Structure 1
Amino acid sequence: MSEGYEGYGGAAPDRTGQAEAFDAIGARYDDAFPHKEGQLAAGEWLAKTLAPGSRVLDVGCGTGTPTARQLVDAGHTVVGVDLSRTMLDLARQRVPEAEFHQRDVAALRAEGPDGLGTFDGIACFFTLLMLPRAELPYALATLRSLLRPGGLLALSMVEADLDDTAIPFLGQTIRVSGHPRAALREVVREAGLEITGEDVYAYDPAEPGARPEHQLFLNCRA
């Protein structure tokens, strides 16, 4: 996990605090966000649009549910990555058919000692929220580099005007960024991805005090 994005200073950014927060949150994340209609719909699009038996990467896989589970049940070969050891332990229990690794998005590579290979599809649901805005182009370029020609990316973000802002979350403090809709579309296209579909969901988390949000889902093709 030592290498960072190409052109972004070499070393992977230190996200120890983010990983520790999600280690502490564990399975409570699913309790706080029980309704995942948008994520399920985007996962279904990815699962059904890909050829049967495709190889799919789940970036920020969390507990493995619903996305890794959904993709495995559809007959795809799934590799999941996450920063949190606790989340990965839960994912391995819930989706034993998949393969899971502890990785930062900045350290993802197709080749090399820690390379994961290339993929027909990638699911990246809410993971890039945890990055400063300046990292988003590099993160998207990294995901693009892992896709085979014509590969699909199912991406979701929360629409908000935030940049690396500390917020309370399930008893922990995490840092998040949000993007206005037009700005998100622009940076996705600049990364070499075609946007083929878009959905917006209004979401009210079950966690007391959590603010309602607008979740943006983009269907993309390399």
Structure 2
Amino acid sequence: MTSDDASAGWDAVAERFAALRSDVGSDIVLHWSRQLPRGGAVLDIGCGTGVPIGTCLAAQGFALFGIDPAPRMIAAFRDNVPEATAACEPAETSRFFDRRFDGVVAIGLLFLLPEAAQAAVIARVGPALHPGGRFLFSAPRERCDWEDSLTGRRSWSLGEAGYGALVEAAGLEMAGCHRDAGGNDYFDAVAVEA
């Protein structure tokens, strides 16, 4: 694994990730998606293989857009969600398809990025949402760090207060926090209407 690996080690473990990924949390994403306009555009940042989040959203009729920096992950995403638009690129430098969305999800992604990169991604999500659009992302509510079990790289949660400040600075407001059956926390933020 080299330092120029845009996927931060995820391309090398794509098959293991796909084998271990469960549908835990898809019920939260499904509930969240019911607050979006029918057939609206949703961006999945760090879309991975598309299972279960992308397939869940596509089955609800959303126009899905996915980005992931791991070539193997994005290839699987294209296979699993063929109707989606996909790009192989890191969240930190993605142009988010040069458009706006009704919803943005980042499940299992932000805490994999260094703190500055997390802040940069959240800052860019605000302008990428239509007024009233929603942003759902997962991260522990506590401020903490740990070693990722698949890549061996550091992960960082900025905690509820840290994410709240970043969300507010991006022109969003927190609408709630949810916990799935696996104990994972999800933050739901709404783009402030002008």
Task: Using structure 2 for the length normalisation, give the TM-score.
Answer: 0.86
Distance 1:54 1:72, change over 3 A: same
- What amino acid maps onto 2:164 in structure 1? R
Distance 1:195 1:168, change over 3 A: closer
3-state SS in 2 of match to 1:123: strand
Q: 1:199 and 2:174 equivalent?
A: no
Shift of 1:202: 6.2
Distance 1:86 1:160, change over 3 A: farther
3-state SS in 2 of match to 1:43: helix
Query: Once structures 1 and 2 are overlaid, which stretch shifts more, 73-82 or 191-200?
Result: 191-200
Kindly name which structure, 1 or 2, has the bigger radius of gyration based on alpha carbons: 1
CA distance in 1, matches of 2:99, 2:55: 21
CA distance in 2, matches of 1:218, 1:25: 27
Shift of 1:129: 1.1
Shift of 1:68: 1.0
Shift of 1:148: 1.2
User: Which residue of the other structure, out of 92, 95, 119, is the alignment partner of 1:137?
Assistant: 119
Query: Once structures 1 and 2 are overlaid, which stretch shifts more, 79-88 or 179-188?
Result: 179-188
Correspondence for 1:22 = 10
Distance 1:195 1:15, change over 3 A: farther
- What amino acid maps onto 1:191 in structure 2? A
Shift of 1:147: 0.8
Unpaired runs of at least 5, structure 2: none
Unpaired runs of at least 5, structure 1: 1-13, 204-213
Q: 1:190 and 2:169 equivalent?
A: yes
Distance 1:15 1:97, change over 3 A: farther
3-state SS in 2 of match to 1:107: coil
3-state SS in 2 of match to 1:151: strand
Task: Using structure 1 for the length normalisation, give the TM-score.
Answer: 0.76
User: Which residue of the other structure, out of 74, 77, 89, is the alignment partner of 1:88?
Assistant: 74
Correspondence for 2:186 = 217
CA RMSD, aligned part only?
2.3
CA distance in 2, matches of 1:137, 1:83: 18
